[in-house]
Amino acid sequence: MHDCNKLLEELKAGNGEFRQAAEQTLEALKGYGLPEVDYFVERFLPAFGLTLDELVRDVDVADVRAKNVNNEKLDSIYSDINSAKKTIKWLYNCYLVVGGGIVALLLFFAFSAAFVW
């Protein structure tokens, strides 16, 4: 695939020496007879020859920005959830330490009272 990218870059740069190699590579890809390869060659390969301006010509910038804002909101929500999980875990650990201390004290007093009598 790296070789295909190199061919396409050279062709975009106007280097005609690579045209025959590009045609041979395309014929080799088509020669596999696999529907997946044919699908890729038909639908995706042409995009490799386009400039960035041509690729984004039909893209609604406002729509992309809105989706990015939504992603930022989702990231913020996930961050808040992770922060809450950490806090709950910390509180739970504190509860275990304090609860374990209380249980230890109760056992201590219970055994002390039992042996004093």
For 30-85, how does the pLDDT look when each residue is reduced to its tens digit (9 = 90+)? 888 899 988 988 888 888 777 888 888 888 878 877 777 777 777 888 888 889 89
Is pTM beyond 0.85 here?
Answer: no
Q: How far apart are CA 82 and CA 85, in angstroms?
A: 5
What 3-state DSSP class applies to 101? helix
Which pLDDT tens digit goes with each residue over 79-107? 888 898 999 898 888 888 888 888 888 88
To the nearest 10°, report the CA torsion of 19, 22, 24, 26: -140
**Residue entry with tokens 């990231």:** 75
Residue type, 47: A
Q: How far apart are CA 91 and CA 8, in angstroms?
A: 58
Closest CA to 26 of 3, 9, 10: 3
C-alpha distances out from residue 36 to 27, 42, 44, Å: 15, 10, 11
